[in-house]
Amino acid sequence: MTTNQNSGRLIIDFAATRLDASDIELLGQPEVGGAILFSRNYENRRQLKELVGEIRAVKSDALICVDQEGGRVQRFKEGFVLLPSLQQIRRYADSNQELRDTLLSSLAWLMCVEVLSTGVDLSFAPVLDLDDSNSKVIGDRSFSPEANLAITLGQLYLDAMHGAGMATTGKHFPGHGAVTGDSHHEQPVDPRSFAEISKTDMRPFVELADKLDALMPAHVVYPEIDSLPAGFSHRWIEDILRKELGYRGVLFSDDLSMEGAASAGGGIDRAKAAIEAGCDLLLVCNDRDMATQVQQWMKNESVPGSDAALRMRARKAWTESEIIADQKFDLATGFIKEIEEIERSASSA
């Protein structure tokens, strides 16, 4: 078991619902700071808690993460409340601001406390990209196509996350919503000027920066600013984000195995570029060979550790009984039933 003031900078994944010998070996390396879980790692709540226990038995201070946004992106389903997407929430109560705000806050709280009750630290949320109907990979994961509304709703969501005891992560700086390409499978390019991006897509990230414990840069190229994707760009991360905007939170790379990262080269090239650009923690998912190569490179090059993973750990523990006893649980689940009924009626009309 390892516990350090500084932790590893690599976030890895696993193939199954239990750790095997190779998982244990890699997780135990000092260069590894934590893990991200996917649907393939989940059967039910009991199994998830056992898996979390296995991870903590190897590395007690590991940062354990998931994407549990709701809608299309919810990794834990059986035994969890099925959450609507951000745009479903907004549409349900768009004409009633008070109802909309209460609904959004209660559902953000519910997302967090259900995750935290299993021992998982962090859901990468919220998506702060603007949806201008171009990007299918963003789409209804976004609060709104309009920056002012995304900022208003984003603030409510972030406050609710902090109230539940979870750190916040804004995705995907400086904005992924204006490109058609899916960076999981290709290299998207956003040809707009910095002036145009800064007055639209960047605004939620900038104006909510003091509530964002972390940011995740996009694997999108903005050629008017830099030839590299934002997550590998010293211009975007060090010059604009750190120096000009003064952001001091944690920076996660998006998954380095994604096709949108391929322009930086092989796995080690991608890791080196992300660190040199200013990323604190590197995600390498769905490619164990790449994760192992990056870990070995970090070891061989004596890449220093970071306190970033420890800064993102859960701030509060919840039990299932505490969740159910909270009035926000009844409020949130009641809203969800109404939204589901509206959606069913609309689809059958």
For residue 263, the SS3 value is helix
State the pLDDT at residue 348.
Answer: 73
- Exposure of 20 in the CB half-sphere (CA atoms within 13 A): 7
**What's the pLDDT band for 170 if we cut at 50, 70, 90?**
very high
Q: Mean pLDDT across the stretch 124-139? A: 88
Q: Mean pLDDT across the stretch 312-323? A: 97
> Bridge partners of 251?
215
Residues of the chain above pLDDT 90, percent: 80
Distance from the Cα of residue 180 to its chain's centroid: 20
Q: How far apart are CA 82 and CA 75, in angstroms?
A: 10
Residue 69 phi/psi, 5-degree rounding, is -70, -35
State the pLDDT at residue 343.
Answer: 76
Residues of the chain above pLDDT 70, percent: 96
**What's the pLDDT band for 203 if we cut at 50, 70, 90?**
very high
State the pLDDT at residue 195.
Answer: 97
Could you tell me if 23 and 80 are in contact, meaning their C-beta atoms sit under 8 angstroms apart? Answer: no
Q: Residue 126 has which token pair?
A: 């919220």
**What's the pLDDT band for 90 if we cut at 50, 70, 90?**
confident
State the pLDDT at residue 137.
Answer: 84
pLDDT at position 66 over 50: yes
Which residue intervals of the chain are DSSP H helices?
A: 21-27, 45-58, 86-92, 97-116, 147-164, 194-198, 203-207, 234, 267-277, 288-300, 308-311, 320-325, 327-348
Please tell me the chain's helix, strand, coil percentages from 3-state DSSP, rounded to the nearest 5. 45, 10, 40
Please provide the average confidence, as pLDDT, over all residues in the chain: 93
State the pLDDT at residue 259.
Answer: 76
Q: Residue 210 has which token pair?
A: 């003091």
- Range in 78-87, 134-143, 194-203, 304-313 the model is least confident about: 134-143
**What's the pLDDT band for 185 if we cut at 50, 70, 90?**
low
Q: Mean pLDDT across the stretch 61-75? A: 97
Single-letter amino acid, residue 8: G
pLDDT at position 308 over 90: yes
What class, spelled out in words, does domain 10-348 have in CATH? alpha beta
State the pLDDT at residue 181.
Answer: 65
pLDDT at position 349 over 90: no
Q: How far apart are CA 12 and CA 255, in angstroms?
A: 10
Q: Mean pLDDT across the stretch 128-153? A: 90
Per the annotation, the verdict on 184 as an active-site residue is: yes
Q: How far apart are CA 234 and CA 240, in angstroms?
A: 9
Q: How far apart are CA 254 and CA 244, in angstroms?
A: 22
pLDDT digits (tens, 9 = 90+) for 233-281: 999 999 999 999 999 999 999 999 987 777 878 999 999 999 999 999 9
**What's the pLDDT band for 136 if we cut at 50, 70, 90?**
confident
**What's the pLDDT band for 192 if we cut at 50, 70, 90?**
very high
State the pLDDT at residue 341.
Answer: 82
**Catalytic entry in 184, 234, 307, 326:** 184
State the pLDDT at residue 298.
Answer: 98
> Bridge partners of 59?
2
Element (H, E) at 169: strand 169-173
**Catalytic entry in 140, 201, 254, 255:** 254
State the pLDDT at residue 217.
Answer: 96
Per the annotation, the verdict on 185 as an active-site residue is: no
pLDDT at position 102 over 80: yes
pLDDT digits (tens, 9 = 90+) for 8-52: 999 999 999 999 999 999 999 999 999 999 999 999 999 999 999
Q: How far apart are CA 324 and CA 320, in angstroms?
A: 6
